Structure 1
Amino acid sequence: MPQPMAIDGPMPLHLIVIEEARKDIQNLRAASYAASGEMSENLRAMVMSLDRIERDLIADSSGLMQVERLFTYYLPATTKILEARGRAAQDLDDTKLAKIDAIMGRLASAFRDFALRLHSKDDKAIEIDIKLLDQALASEFGFENLPAKTEN
């Protein structure tokens, strides 16, 4: 996990975005330890991708716009989906669990692809990844109107 940097003066915007995403990333990390099997693997893959994205953004903030969208929209949506999975597990709803597990697998792949493209500075492919994430969340869970950030 990347460590916070010591900053003199006002904190740069890219570091603010990272700091605001930290709780969601920590929640995914904790869930990855509690989960088992494929869900654990998917969550760990997401966390590794998010850590890489964070490191790349710290090294070069030119990808801030794309990362900000990922950290303020898709990451909170992912944690909401994970919460929905917990409720489905409590309700013993195997159909919903299977659906959520499938979307989490797609999200893990999308986060990985996003991290790779950000690292290689492939802006056009990043925009395609963002559109695919939009479509997946909208069609599977109706997240097209999800607020950018929710308070807990």
Structure 2
Amino acid sequence: MKTTRQKRAAPFYAAAAVWLAYALVLPLYEPLHYALAAGASLLAFAAAAALCRGGPVGEEAGKAPPEKAEEPVEKKPASTGNPELDKMVRDGEMAIREMKRLDENIADPGISADIVRLEQVSARIFDEVRTHPEKLPQIRRFLDYYLPTTLKLLNAYDRMSGTGVSGENIDTTLAKVEGMMRTIVAAFEKQLDSLYGAEALDISTDITVLENMMAREGLVDSPLKAEPDEKKETDIRLEL
């Protein structure tokens, strides 16, 4: 709501009072007398105006000024207590933001789709390591080399494709990056898959033990001795 201000009448009353007082007390019949009276009235007007200046009047008077809205502060991720893990979280968030920016800037639909896939896979890698910090050493090379190098290549592609110029160096570089993207996506997916290697081995072992225990208890046929119900001949015979 806008604050309305009204002109105060007090300065005019003060100026008029000076003229009246001057006329009653001092002579007022020469030009000098009028000049002195005018100067005194101007001083009175200015003083009264200064005293009345400032506050809003009417409905707005007496109301507290509106509080200034607080600027949003970027929320920092909570510390995990592990400096290396905290660094991975920060670097991962920066990498995801950079991928989003590159996806918005690059017009080529094929590269854009590859960037979206890299963003999805990278986010899952970071989430898995955040949940299981013991897996952090498994992605050390991914963090230190593969991820930053990929972002470097994509940034170069972004700059060159945005020049609007076709030339041998630019076209060759763009073609190389485009040809490399599918390999990079496959490598990122394999990195994510490798994080589940130990878990997959444990599940496979549990399944084998469970099958053997059930077979010993007679609950299922032994996987080693089970035979098909009907024997099928596999030899090919020719009859004349």
TM-score (norm 1): 0.66
The CA distance in 1 between the partners of 2:191 and 2:160, in whole Å, is 28
Amino acid in structure 1 at the alignment position of 2:92 = A
Q: Moved runs in structure 1, 4+ residues, more than 6 A?
A: none
Higher normalized helix content (fraction of residues)? 1
Q: Write out aligned runs for 1:35-114 (5 A).
A: 35=106, 36-89=108-161, 90=163, 91-92=165-166, 93-114=170-191
Please point out which of 26, 45, 51 is paired with 2:97.
26
TM-score (norm 2): 0.44
The CA distance in 2 between the partners of 1:68 and 1:26, in whole Å, is 20
Deviations 1:16-46 (A, max 9, x none): 2221332222111221233341101110111
The CA distance in 2 between the partners of 1:84 and 1:34, in whole Å, is 12
Please point out which of 181, 191, 195 is paired with 1:118.
195
Match of 1:149?
A: none
Q: Write out aligned runs for 1:126-141 (5 A).
A: none
Match of 2:84?
A: 13
Structure with bigger RCO (C-alpha 8 Å, 6+ apart)? 1
Q: Give 5+ residue unaligned stretches, structure 1.
A: 123-152
Greater CA drift, 86-95 or 71-80: 86-95
| Contact 2:79–2:86, Cα closer than 8 Å, also in 1 | no
The CA distance in 1 between the partners of 2:155 and 2:173, in whole Å, is 12
Task: Report percent identity of matched pairs.
Answer: 23
Q: Give 5+ residue unaligned stretches, structure 2.
A: 1-74, 200-240
Q: Which has the larger radius of gyration?
A: 2
Two-structure CA RMSD over aligned residues (Å)? 2.4
Deviations 1:113-133 (A, max 9, x none): 2112213448xxxxxxxxxxx
The CA distance in 1 between the partners of 2:79 and 2:119, in whole Å, is 25
